[in-house]
Amino acid sequence: MTASSLSSNALTRDDRRFGFRLTAPAGILLAVLLLVPTILTILYSLHDVPANGRSLGPFVGLENYTIVLGSSVFWRSAWVTFLFSVGFVVLSTLIGLAMALLLNQPFIGRGLARALLIIPWATPWLMIGILWKWFADGSVGGLNAVLLMIGATSDYHDFLSDPNSALAITIIAAVWRQASFAGILLLAGLQTLPGDLNEAASLDGANLWQRFRNITLPWLRPALVTVTVLNVIYAFLQFDVIFAMTQGGPGDATQVLSILIYRQLFGVTQIGLGSALAVILGFVALAGGLITVKLLYARGSQPA
C-alpha cells in the first residue's frame, strides 16, 4: 500500500492547523458552556453566597464542605444514592444481559421483540417516572390490579407512600428503561459473535453453560464493561424518575443526592451549600467517568 497522505504521520503543519480550526468552534463552545460554569460552581462552594445569587458573598474556605460532610442529612442521602445505584446497576445489567441473550435466539416474532426493546429506551426519563408513578399507584394503579389478579396480594397497597417500598419501585422504574439500553448494546455485541465458534464448541461437547461461560461471556466482556460503567454514571446522576415519582419522599426515603442538591439550591436557596454538594456529586461521578476512560483504554490496548 502506498503512503497515505491522510494518515496522521504524513500530516503537514498546515493540515494540523486545519484540524485545529475545524475543532475550534466546538472547543470554544464547550469551554464557555462547561468549563466556566464548573469553575463558577466551585467558587460558589467556597463562599457564603447570598440567596439572590447576585454576588459571591464572603469567602468561607472549606466551611460549606465541612458542614455538608458533618450533616446526617448528607450521609443519609448518600446512603440512599448508594442503595439506588447498586440496585439500578446490578438489575439493569443482569436484565439487559438476559434480554440480549433471549433476543439473540431464533424464534418467531424476533424482529418485533427487538423493536419492543427500543420502546423503554426511547421514552424520556421523566415520562418513565410519570408512567411508573401511576402504574404503582395505590388506588388506580395497574400494578396492584395485576398483583391482585395473580393472587400475590389480597389488598391494594400504596407502594410509593410506603418508605419500605418507595425506593424499590423507583429502582424498578429506572431499571425498566436502562435494562433496555443495556440489552440493545449487549445484543449488538452478541450479533458480532461468530456462530461457528459456538458450533465448534458444541461439537467439542461443551454444554450450554460451558459455552456461555467460556465463549459468550468473554466475547461480551468489553460491551459489558461499557454498559456497567454507563449504568454507574446514570445511577449517580439520576434525577428525573425520582422527581416525577416521589420528589425524594416519603420523608427522605428516596432523597438521592441530586434531589437533595435540587432542594438546597431551589427549595431553601442555600447556594453555597448546594454548590458544595454539587461539587461532591461531580467528583463521585467524575471518578466513575475516569474509571470508564481507564477501562476503555485497557480494552483498546488488547489485541483484537
Partner 1 sequence: MTALASIAPRRLSKAATASGRQRSFAASCGIYLCVAVFAIWILLPVWYLVVSSLITPAQLGVKPFPMVPGSITFDNYLSVLTGSTGSKGFGSTDIGARLLPAIGQSFFVSSVLVVLNLTIAGLAAYGLSRYPFRGSRLFELSIIISRVVPAIAIIGPFFVAFRITGILNTPWALIVSYNVFTLPLAIMILKNYFDQLPREIEEAAKIDGASRLQTLWIIVVPLARPGLVAAGVLIFLEAWSEFFYSLVLTNQLTVPPLLAGFQSVQQFNWNALAAATVMSMIPPVVLVIIFQRHVVGALTAGAVK
- Angle separating helix axes 163-191 and 125-135, nearest 10 degrees: 130
- Cell digits for 237? 446522576
Burial of residue 88 (number of CB atoms within 10 Å: 0-12, 13-18, 19+): buried
Three-state SS at 59:
strand
Only one residue has cell 453566597, namely 49
Residue span binding partner 1 (CB under 8 A) among the ranges 62-70, 81-89, 160-168, 238-246: 238-246
Identified binder of partner 1 from the candidate list 93, 170, 243, 255, rule CB under 8 A: 243
Positions in 276-295 near partner 1 (CB under 8 A): 278-279, 281-282, 285-286, 288-290, 292-293
**Residue whose C-alpha is closest to residue 261's, from 271, 251, 250, 252:** 271
Minimum distance between the CB of residue 221 and partner 1, rounded to whole angstroms? 10
- Cell digits for 62? 472549606
Site size for partner 1 (CB under 8 A): 120
Identified binder of partner 1 from the candidate list 226, 254, 255, 270, rule CB under 8 A: 226
78 binds partner 1 (CB under 8 A): no
Residue span binding partner 1 (CB under 8 A) among the ranges 59-67, 72-80, 135-143, 161-169: 135-143
Residue span binding partner 1 (CB under 8 A) among the ranges 57-65, 69-77, 82-90, 230-238: 230-238
Give, for 42, the enclosing helix (H) or strand (E). helix 36-45
CB closer to partner 1 out of 27 and 251: 27
Q: Which residues lie closer than 8 Å to 25 by C-beta, 6 or more apart? A: none
Minimum distance between the CB of residue 86 and partner 1, rounded to whole angstroms? 18
267 binds partner 1 (CB under 8 A): no
Positions in 22-41 near partner 1 (CB under 8 A): 22-23, 25-27, 29-30, 33-34, 36-38, 40-41
Positions in 109-128 near partner 1 (CB under 8 A): 109, 113, 115-127
Identified binder of partner 1 from the candidate list 90, 102, 168, 295, rule CB under 8 A: 102
Three-state SS at 255:
coil
CB closer to partner 1 out of 45 and 167: 45
Positions in 156-185 near partner 1 (CB under 8 A): 156, 176, 180, 184-185
- The site map against partner 1 for 194-223 (x = CB under 8 A) is ---xxxxxxxxxx---x---xx--x---xx
Q: How much of the chain is helix, strand and coil, in % rounded to 5?
A: 75, 0, 25
Minimum distance between the CB of residue 78 and partner 1, rounded to whole angstroms? 14
Residue span binding partner 1 (CB under 8 A) among the ranges 57-65, 73-81, 136-144, 161-169: 136-144
Three-state SS at 43:
helix
CB closer to partner 1 out of 80 and 244: 244
Q: Which long-range contacts (CB under 8 A, 24 or more apart) does 241-244 make?
A: 241/125, 241/126, 241/128, 241/129, 241/132, 241/170, 241/173, 241/174, 241/177, 242/84, 242/129, 242/170, 243/126, 243/129, 244/126, 244/127, 244/128, 244/129, 244/130, 244/133
Burial of residue 295 (number of CB atoms within 10 Å: 0-12, 13-18, 19+): middle
87 binds partner 1 (CB under 8 A): no
Three-state SS at 5:
coil
CB closer to partner 1 out of 78 and 130: 130
